[in-house]
Amino acid sequence: MTLPILYSFRRCPYAMRARMALILASKKCELREILLKNKPEEMLKISSKGTVPVLQFQDRVLDESLDIISWAMETHISNVHSYSAAEEIFSAELIHLFDTKFKYHLDRYKYASRYGEDPKLHRQECKIILDCLESKIDPRPWIFGKQVSLLDIAILPFIRQCRIANPNWFFAQKFPNVINLLDYFEKSDLFAQAMQKYELWDPAKNNGNIFP
């Protein structure tokens, strides 16, 4: 059987969440670790927008992380929280908020000089969203209880980036639910497995890795 090919960059939050979905669903692929500053022709040929993750099948290509997650999770997965109708709406709204507004302000907080922006202003906007999340969740230990959910894997890689930008600031904020959730996530086997290091893919060596 030919495995689908996943073009991935270890530190990319979108690729991270796609890898976690593949792990949870036990969907095997050939992982090709790439560098964003040196994207392989093979990837650009099938997805000209040049973002990771990209999952290539023999007959189609998925080049949006949420599409890869949906594909991985299209069948019921016993180790992932299954949503009630209300939870599904709650989850979709929060994922949208983090993928749009939070990501926008996070980029301008982290790379303020690149954007010519005031980082504190954008950090404050991130804080408003994290305060909002704080008021909506009571993680035990994941957002919906004992089992990890699509929402956890979709938003935590971005919250992690916000923490990395300035840990002292992050831990001084009054969002203990968010801090505890992130801590649990970063200590989880799921995260460890998703963050395993692979050597760069070299087409000449054909050194893709079977993942997970």
Ligand X SMILES: N[C@@H](CCC(=O)N[C@@H](CS)C(=O)NCC(=O)O)C(=O)O
Cis amide prior to 13 (ω within 30 degrees): no
Binder of ligand X out of 40, 51, 92, 132 (CB under 6 A):
51
* Residue 120: partners with Cβ closer than 8 Å, 6 or more residues away: none
Q: How far is CA 130 from CA 30, 158, 161, 205, in A?
A: 35, 11, 13, 44
Q: Is 107 in the site for ligand X (CB under 6 A)?
A: no
- According to CB under 6 A, which residues from 156 to 195 bind ligand X? none
Binder of ligand X out of 26, 44, 45, 50 (CB under 6 A):
50
Alpha carbon distance 52, 180 (integer Å): 28
Alpha carbon distance 164, 46 (integer Å): 33
Binder of ligand X out of 12, 24, 73, 150 (CB under 6 A):
12
Torsion of CA 30, 36, 40, 43, to 10 degrees: 60
- According to CB under 6 A, which residues from 53 to 92 bind ligand X? 53, 64-66
Q: Is 35 in the site for ligand X (CB under 6 A)?
A: no
- Residue 36 beta carbon to ligand X: minimum distance, rounded to whole angstroms: 4
Angle at 132 between CA 77 and CA 102, to 5 degrees: 75
Alpha carbon distance 209, 92 (integer Å): 32
Q: Is 16 in the site for ligand X (CB under 6 A)?
A: no
- Residue 102 beta carbon to ligand X: minimum distance, rounded to whole angstroms: 13
Stretch that binds ligand X, among 25-33, 47-55, 69-77, 136-144 (CB under 6 A): 47-55
Stretch that binds ligand X, among 8-16, 104-112, 118-126, 179-187 (CB under 6 A): 8-16
Q: Is 36 in the site for ligand X (CB under 6 A)?
A: yes
Binding site for ligand X (CB under 6 A): 12-14, 36, 50-53, 64-66
